[in-house]
Amino acid sequence: MIQKEERDAMTVVLDALIQLKVPVPGTALRNLAPDFENAVAVILARMPAEQSVPFSQEFFRSAKAGYTLQYVSAALLAMHPPSGFAGKLLGDIRVQARVLAVTPGGPGIGFGISGGSCLQASEPERDDWPEIGQYKLSIQMSEGASFLVAGSEPIYVSREESTHYLGNECAGGWRGLYFGREQRRALIAEMLGVPAEQIPWETDLQKDIEFRSLEQFTGELLAFVDEQQAMYRGTAQALDARGLLAHSEIQQSLPRLELNLDDARGVQQDHECVEDSEDACGVNSGDEGRNELEPISKEAIKLPARVVWAE
């Protein structure tokens, strides 16, 4: 990790290189990426495609690259897809499916999605330091912004000045771009030449299954899994038809489906106890009236390839 003074000085240098459109060797970008992700993404996007592709592939595949640099790299590759890119992009998607085991005929259970908050404090303005030009990347057009990466969902860049480093702040979107499941799915759609809404499968979904017996529950669960994988396979086959994915790679390139099993039968039973009389739930009789629910054994359910239980 470089020191604060070195970081600020290098930020000035990178701003000058970007403003003057000075070519920067790809090997230098590799060294700068851990500390100056946004600036590296801008320089990479402005390189000729024949020069940027090898480094875009490296940053896209690197676990050490930040989300912003991964996203920009993937967006650049989607415009000129090299061999193996589409399969990795599709296969790296982690679909999250929440499976609820519910009581037959009982009320449904709704679950909200909680969001995180950004608590990182910003650095104070400095009176003893000149304003530094820095680069903000966004998928939203704003005043003064320009195209960085074209496509169905463009990436924009804007230059802003401050006396302190903005690269890691939460405010104003300076934390950069997020490269998650939906962004990957959108790039797949772009390579297929269709709107993202036409991709038939979702990356985050919930399935309620009534539990009457383990055999019946397993059958309905596996039918749900088969339905999802059939849609994934259809997308992979469409990539194959466009020459973006080898036919032999279809199965291994399917998105990974992660199942989060929640046994909501007890939740429903408790809900019914609130609405019914206490005696009906066994509250006044030592809880002897309450039905004991046998846990659902995940080990008894054999999942197909590319499908796992969420940890």
Q: Which strands form 204-210's sheet, in the order they lie side by side?
A: 204-210, 94-102, 256-263, 307-309
Check pLDDT > 90 for residue 281.
no
Q: 142 and 36, same structural domain?
A: yes
Q: 256 and 308, same structural domain?
A: yes
In a domain, 206, yes or no: yes
**For residues 214 and 295, what is the distance between their CA atoms, to the nearest angstrom?**
10
Give the per-residue pLDDT at 288: 46
Closest CA to 151 of 192, 181, 197: 192
In a domain, 55, yes or no: yes
Q: 125 and 213, same structural domain?
A: no
Q: 230 and 141, same structural domain?
A: no
In a domain, 186, yes or no: no
Which residues, in sequence order, are bridge partners of residue 206? 98
Q: 207 and 105, same structural domain?
A: yes
User: How many domains does one find in the chain?
Assistant: 2
Check pLDDT > 90 for residue 162.
no
Q: 234 and 127, same structural domain?
A: no
Q: 241 and 165, same structural domain?
A: no
Q: 96 and 17, same structural domain?
A: no
In a domain, 180, yes or no: no
Closest CA to 81 of 216, 187, 169: 187
Structural domain range at position 311: 81-112+193-311
Give the per-residue pLDDT at 127: 60
**For residues 87 and 108, what is the distance between their CA atoms, to the nearest angstrom?**
37
Check pLDDT > 70 for residue 260.
yes
Check pLDDT > 90 for residue 293.
no
Q: 38 and 4, same structural domain?
A: yes
Closest CA to 138 of 190, 71, 73: 71
Q: Is 309 helix (H, G, I), strand (E, B) or coil?
A: strand
In a domain, 185, yes or no: no
Convert the pLDDT of each residue in 191-211 to its tens digit: 999 999 999 999 999 999 999
Q: 46 and 105, same structural domain?
A: no
Give the per-residue pLDDT at 121: 46
In a domain, 279, yes or no: yes
Task: Report residue 163's pLDDT band, with 50, 70 and 90 as the boundaries.
Answer: confident
Q: Between 61 and 273, name the one with better pLDDT.
A: 61
Q: 99 and 39, same structural domain?
A: no
Closest CA to 56 of 45, 64, 66: 45
Give the per-residue pLDDT at 120: 46
In a domain, 181, yes or no: no
Report the chain's mean pLDDT, rounded to a whole number: 86
- 204: DSSP letter: E
Q: What percent of the chain stands above pLDDT 90?
A: 70
Question: pTM value?
Answer: 0.84
State phi, psi for 199 to the nearest 5 degrees: -70, 120
Q: 156 and 8, same structural domain?
A: yes
Convert the pLDDT of each residue in 14-48 to its tens digit: 999 999 999 999 999 999 999 999 999 999 999 99
Kindly state the tokens that stand for 10.
């290098």
Start-to-end Cα distance in the chain: 32
Convert the pLDDT of each residue in 86-96 to its tens digit: 999 999 999 99
